Chain A
Amino acid sequence: MSEKKHRVSRRQFLTYTLTGVGGFMAAGMLSPMVRMALDPALEATGDSEFVAVGLGEDELTEEPQIVNFELEIEDAWYTSEQPRSAWIYKDGDEIIALSPICTHLGCTVNWDANEDYPEQFFCPCHFGRFERDGTNVAGTPPTRPLDVYDVEVRDGMIYLGQINQRS
Chain B
Amino acid sequence: MLQKVYDWVDERLDITPLWRDIADHEVPEHVNPAHHFSAFVYCFGGLTFFVVVIQILSGMFLTMYYVPDIIHAYESVYYLQNEVTHGLIVRGMHHWGASLVIVMMFLHTLRVFFTGSYKKPRELNWVVGVLLFFVILGLGFTGYLLPWDMKAYFATVVGLEIAESAPVIGGFARTLLAGGEIIGAQTLARFFAIHVFFLPGALLGLLGAHFFMIRKQGISGPL
Contacts and interface: CB of A to CB of B under 8 A. Distances in A.
**Do A and B share a complex?**
yes
A76 B83 contact: yes
Contact of A33 (B57, B75, B76, B83): B57
Interface string A100-135: 000000000000000000000000000000000000
Given A32-B86, A42-B85, A37 B64 contact: yes
A73 interface: no
B78 A39 contact: no
B57 to A, nearest CB: 6
Interface in B74-103: 75-76, 78-80, 83-87, 89-90, 93
A39 B90 contact: no
Interface residues of B, number: 20
Q: Main SS of chain A's interface residues? A: helix
Given A32-B89, A77-B76, A77-B79, A39 B84 contact: yes
Contacts of A42: 85
Contacts of A30: 57
A36 B82 CA distance: 11
B72 A77 contact: yes
Interface string A21-51: 0000000011011011101001100000000
B58 interface: yes
B72 A29 contact: no
The number of chain A residues touching the other chain, given as a range, is: 10 to 19
Nearest to B91: A36
Given A42-B85, A78-B72, A33 B79 contact: no
A76 B93 contact: no
B76 A76 contact: yes
Given A77-B72, A77-B76, A29 B57 contact: yes
Contacts of A76: 65, 76, 79, 83
B160 interface: no
Nearest to B75: A77
B54 A29 contact: yes
6 contacts: A32-B89, A33-B58, A36-B64, A36-B87, A39-B85, A77-B78
Given A33-B86, A36-B64, A42-B85, 6 more contacts: A29-B93, A35-B85, A36-B84, A36-B89, A76-B83, A77-B79
The 9 A-B pairs with the shortest beta carbon distances in the complex, nearest first, are A77-B75, A32-B86, A32-B89, A77-B79, A33-B61, A35-B86, A36-B86, A39-B84, A77-B76
